[in-house]
A and B are shown apart, each in its own frame.
Chain A
Amino acid sequence: MTELSPKFKYEVAQEPGGEGIKLCFACGICTASCPIRAIDEGYNPRRIIRMVLLGMKQRVLSSDFIWFCSSCYACTERCPQGVKFTDVMNAIKNLAVKQGYVPTPFVQQIDILKRFGRLYEIDEFDNKKRAGFGLPKVEKARGFTKKIMEMTELEQIILRKNEK
């Protein structure tokens, strides 16, 4: 728990969207703007940044709270330093996934997307209903999403979690 990884901030900064983290001067405007923080005191953008800068890698990546961000971009728009905290959170989540921390709902969504290419399957029955409402037929997805997930080896990344 107390083990620190001084390089953690560089790892975050190297992920797409993570670049801005080093610009933070801890003003707390992000925290004051955050709708999640307003409900749950345990979620605190400024504190998450401090934890990253201090190198608390395992503690951050294994935490539940990194998944609480609703991606509303309020912090990003208001940050006087241009940190883009929403993107920083995304970078942190991407790193957490690489460590095997993937919340179950995401695993389920990936499975659905692999099978249907979309979050909802539109079958014959749905298309009949659509026709009844004057809506055009939706063609079956052609498996592009599955292909792409194979190309990026997403499954191997997610599977690591299941081995744990």
Chain B
Amino acid sequence: MKYALYPGCTVLGRGRNYEMAARQVARVLGIEFVDLDDFECCGFPIKSVHYETFMMMGARNIFAAEQKELDICTLCSACTGSLTEVNKHLIEHFDEKTRIVSTLKKNGINYRMGRNIAVKHFAKILYEDVGINEIQKLIRKRLSNLNIAAHYGCHYLKPTDIYKNPEDPENPHTLDELISVTGANSINYSEKLSCCGAGVLAISEDLAYSIARPKFQELSGNSTDAMVLICPFCSVMYDDNQKKIEKKFGEKYNLPVLYYPQLLGLALGIDAKLLGLRMNRVSTRALLEKIGA
């Protein structure tokens, strides 16, 4: 199993813990990552400004992976959505792909027409390509005493028409199963499928914080040990901004927020430090003590 790793801007800038844990977990599971040294922004921030620029930025990153003849593994759900959308368009419109390759070439960016590749989120790779059964075999430490709240986020699931094996966005299961295989209990809760609000953070912090709030209100009132998510934008909202949201509403949540590979890594017996668990904004110390890590 070999993929071109596309970390994306936000993971590089704000999710070092995610990148560390993903690489550690991949190593143990036999997933090989090849780094794309010429990757740049996927284009997501430009989509609402200028679609053609968005398309070209995405396409160029896809061509970079095509040259290596590797499928792309993404860590960020926004990158996943953008690159999948562009890739689908290129696969379905050969003329468009030819046009963009030649336009880039005319401007000194040289990629040959490569064979089509796939774009896949790391969690989907774990679920579909490695598989729950294989992961099960490698679990060294069952995290049976943890109650975990899965946060799927929007772009991992939607829009369903761009994805190859879409889940029912109203009733998804992959992340719950990935959590369960660690031995932890993936809880049911009513705000499970809520949007984190990061999409409007740049436009209005107040609005974004208000969107993130209901999840905290529900989870801080029950016995949840941590929220687990798979997107650096969601993490910026729930982990990085948790203190600010507490302050804005005069509430206290104190809810640890982990990236899924951090949770899986603990169950695979990887050292907490190597999983970047000290870098999470909301302290994970009590959680680690609870599982004796």
Chain A residues within 8 Å of B, Cβ to Cβ: 15-17, 35-36, 39-40, 67-74, 76-77, 84, 86, 89-91, 93-94, 97, 102-103, 105-106, 109-110, 113, 117-120, 122, 130, 133-136, 138-139, 141-142, 144-145, 147-152, 154, 157-158
Contact = CB atoms under 8 A, between A and B. Distances in A.
B251 to A, nearest CB: 16
A158 B20 CA distance: 37
B286 interface: no
A84 B159 contact: yes
Interface residues of B, number: 53
B49 A93 contact: yes
Among all A-B residue pairs, the 3 with the closest Cβ atoms: A120-B13, A70-B199, A73-B158
Interface majority SS (helix, strand, loop, mixed), chain A: helix
B47 interface: yes
A67 B48 CA distance: 9
Contact of A94 (B35, B50, B211): B50
A94 B48 contact: yes
A17 B23 contact: no
A72 B53 contact: no
A17 to B, nearest CB: 7
Nearest to B24: A134
Interface of B: 9-10, 12-14, 16, 19-20, 23, 35, 37-38, 40-41, 45-53, 56-57, 60, 103-104, 107-109, 154-155, 158-160, 169-170, 194-195, 197-200, 202-204, 207-208, 210-211, 274, 276
